[in-house]
Amino acid sequence: MRNSKPVRGKSLRKSLFLASGIAIAAALAIGLAATLYAGPAIAHPGNTCNPEPGHGTPGCHIAETTTTSPYTPTSAAGSSTTTPITTQGSSTSVVPPSGAVTAIDPNAVQMFADKEHCLSCHGDPSIKNLMTIKRPDGTPIILFVDTKVGSDSVHRYKDCTSCHGDEPHDVKSPLNKLSLSEKCGTCHEYEYAQWKNSVHGKPQFDGNSDPATCTDCHSVTSNPHNVVRVLDPASSTYPKNVADTCAKCHDDPKLMDKYGIVEKVYASYMRSFHGKAMNLAPGSAPLKQLDTATCTNCHGAHNISSVTDPNSPVAGMDNLLATCRTCHPDAQPQFVSGFLGHKAVNSDFLPQAYWGGKAFYILSRGMLAGGGLIVATSISLRGVPWVGRRIKRRRAKRRRKGEEE
Amino acid sequence: MSSRIVIEERRTGVAITRFDVQQRAQHLLLIASFFVLAITGLPLKYSEWAASAWWMGVWHGVDNVRAVHHYAAWIMIAVCAYHLMYIMVSRPFSTAVLPKPQDVKDFIQDIKHTFHLSKEPPKYDRFSYRNKAAYWLVYPGALTVIVTGLILLYPTQATAHLPGWTLPLALMVHSDAAILAIGWIVMVHMYFAHFSRHTIPFDKSVLTGKVPIERYREEFPLEYARIVASEKIPAPSRRKIQKPVWEDEVEFEEAAEED
């Protein structure tokens, strides 16, 4: 009877089962393939450009710069502007990283346009400790120019005197943040004009040098000799690095206390989806994978203004909506009202989300704890199945042996 | 019970087909999509972990991970929709999984048995109260993650119809519900499905759909009795069905204790 029973529809069932397995594999394979082929395009279909230059939408610069890899000398030369600009701007307080350079590397020196042979003296590390020349405030001016630091500087083909004056020893070097930015502004006029009226620029004219000047953002070490091209992945202004650059000051509790800025902007940005997407992109990510918003996309860059300024792109729902729409074109006012910005939900701000989230958290974790409790109770009362089985088998064996004897 | 249950001969013994190919395929697709969703969703929630950054690097960036998460989500939605369709059209329409008063009694009996207050374990029909709970918990769980997931996938379209606070709420609920689901599956479902004394270490019926008849008799005695009574198979003689090793040993040990 049993022999006659079995295989009605067995082959059909088997083939159906096989087909379902193939379907799973195919679905996963297609998904993976499609992802690897067109992944980034899925993430942000609607990233549009802010037409205003300097707004800092990273997508905008793709058309301008054909390459995002560390640039070649030709592209650097091609991008140079007509008016004089700096390689050497011995300025504020930058001490080049000590060590490493024991003699002038002739190859490194040749990377700089050095018509006046400034580096024959200033590139010599032995003058590092020569501190006889001082600023008005008494701090020494470091005369040594570390050519290693400047070797990928965007301005390395500019002659020293472009910034330091035609008569180099008649010291007209930029000596504070304001004069430095004025010097940069002789070429970068538009950016300088914007910065002058920004929340970073205005206080400089009142003698406050706390806010950022050009090199604070454009150089990792605030070293004017080390200004790297904006979209160089190593640059402090590369989209992936912008948040860290802003955090140099905006995550400094002392400095923020001084200006009464209480929000932990860096931490809250990294908690947000924008921050996570930026943070989790690989270090070598190309620009098109970094199309999520960073600080400058919402707050502006050279023209950055205080959030209390009614003209700030993030001040008030109307401005905020317009700013959101630069990347989310079909955003509605409710989309903005649900945007956390740098805040977290609490009993005053979006209370529905706060209490709802809290309630669900308690419910879900309570259920999970209950599940764990059930399993723990079951294990403790019934024993771990395989251990119990082994123990009983051993006891039985022993018992049998005893009987045999 | 129904024509679905077929007794088949296997080399080692007799087995009852408990899950048909439809159910197995749905379950496997659910497993596959759930697994992919978990491994692509967790690093987003715990993005500050070093392991998350490493995992994102493996996938060449967060965008790929998100895209795969969305694909797997659509597969899971499709499986859920297919399952609803499947239970609507399959005949005979099965009511076996609906909760019944007997489940409460079974539950109480099982508690008693677990706490050694009763020697008699509960006798289950086709589905134990645990099977039913596992099945019905998936409905609110899946509904929660799917709805919140769609809100997060289409935030601008969603807020055209919903108030803005649904966005941060959806994010919190989505991730908490996911943690609950993952934790529940890993702890509770794995324990009861695979680590019970019948099935340890792995219940092959998830793949084959077949349950050895001696285990069936022990786990689902009521349904087993009905299958046997309904003649689909002749009652197998006890001699031919090997007793589980476990039972032998228990009896043996009990006998030893009595000595």
- The yes-or-no verdict on residue B237 having pLDDT over 50 is no
Interface subset of B 201-240, CB within 8 angstroms of A: 201, 233-234
Say if the Cβ atoms of B114 and A277 lie within 8 Å. no
Mutate which: B29, B83, B86, B159, vs A, most A CBs within 10 A: B159
Chain B contact for A390 (CB, 8 A cutoff) = no
Helix-then-strand count for chain B, H and E:
12, 3
Number of domains making up chain B:
1
Lowest mean pLDDT among A339-343, B92-96, B186-190: B92-96
Q: Compute the Cα dihedral for B81, B87, B89, B90 and give only its sign.
A: positive
Say if the Cβ atoms of A396 and B183 lie within 8 Å. no
Can you tell me the ipTM of this complex?
Answer: 0.80
The pair of structure tokens assigned to B117 is 């207050």
B256 assigned to some structural domain:
no
Chain A contact for B179 (CB, 8 A cutoff) = yes
Angle of helix A10-43 versus helix B21-45 axis, rounded to 10: 20
Chain A contact for B250 (CB, 8 A cutoff) = yes
The pair of structure tokens assigned to A138 is 């008494």
- Report which of residues B240 and A330 the model is more confident about: A330
Q: Residues B252, B225, B117, CA angle at the centre, nearest 5°?
A: 50
Q: Which of A207, A173, A188 is nearest to A92 (CA)?
A: A173
Q: CB under 8 Å, gap of 24 or more: what pairs does A116-125 form?
A: A116/A159, A116/A160, A116/A161, A116/A168, A118/A88, A118/A145, A118/A160, A118/A161, A118/A168, A119/A145, A119/A147, A119/A160, A122/A88, A122/A90, A123/A147, A125/A101
Q: How confident is the model at residue A190 (pLDDT cuts 50, 70, 90)?
A: very high
The pair of structure tokens assigned to A287 is 């620009």
Domain ranges of chain A: 50-69+229-344, 72-195, 351-404
Backbone angles phi, psi at A49, to 5 degrees: -95, 140
Residue range A221-278, pLDDT digits in tens: 888 888 888 888 888 899 889 999 999 999 998 989 888 888 889 999 988 889 988 8
Say if the Cβ atoms of B159 and A335 lie within 8 Å. yes
Helix, strand or coil, per DSSP, at residue A222: coil
- Those residues with Cβ within 8 angstroms of residue B11's Cβ, 6 or more apart along the chain or in another chain: none
- The beta-carbon neighbor of B168 closest among A338, A361, A388 is A338
Output the furthest CA–CA distance in chain A (Å, rounded): 112
Interface subset of B 108-127, CB within 8 angstroms of A: 114-116
Interface subset of B 123-152, CB within 8 angstroms of A: none
Contacts of A393 in chain B (CB under 8 A): 245, 249
The pair of structure tokens assigned to A103 is 């003699």
B259 assigned to some structural domain:
no
- Dist. CA B18–CA B10, nearest whole Å: 14
- Those residues with Cβ within 8 angstroms of residue A119's Cβ, 6 or more apart along the chain or in another chain: A104, A109, A112, A145, A147, A160
Residue range B179-222, pLDDT digits in tens: 999 999 999 998 888 877 667 777 778 888 888 777 787 788 88
Mutate which: A8, A10, A12, A17, vs B, most B CBs within 10 A: A17
pTM of the model: 0.70
CATH code where residue B227 lies: 1.20.950.20
- Those residues with Cβ within 8 angstroms of residue A216's Cβ, 6 or more apart along the chain or in another chain: A177, A222, A248, A249
Chain B: give the shortest CA distance to residue A261, in Å.
24
Q: Are B9 and A3 in contact (CB under 8 A)?
A: yes
Say if the Cβ atoms of A281 and B249 lie within 8 Å. no
- What residue of A is the nearest CA neighbor of B192? A375
Q: Domain residues for B180?
A: 7-251
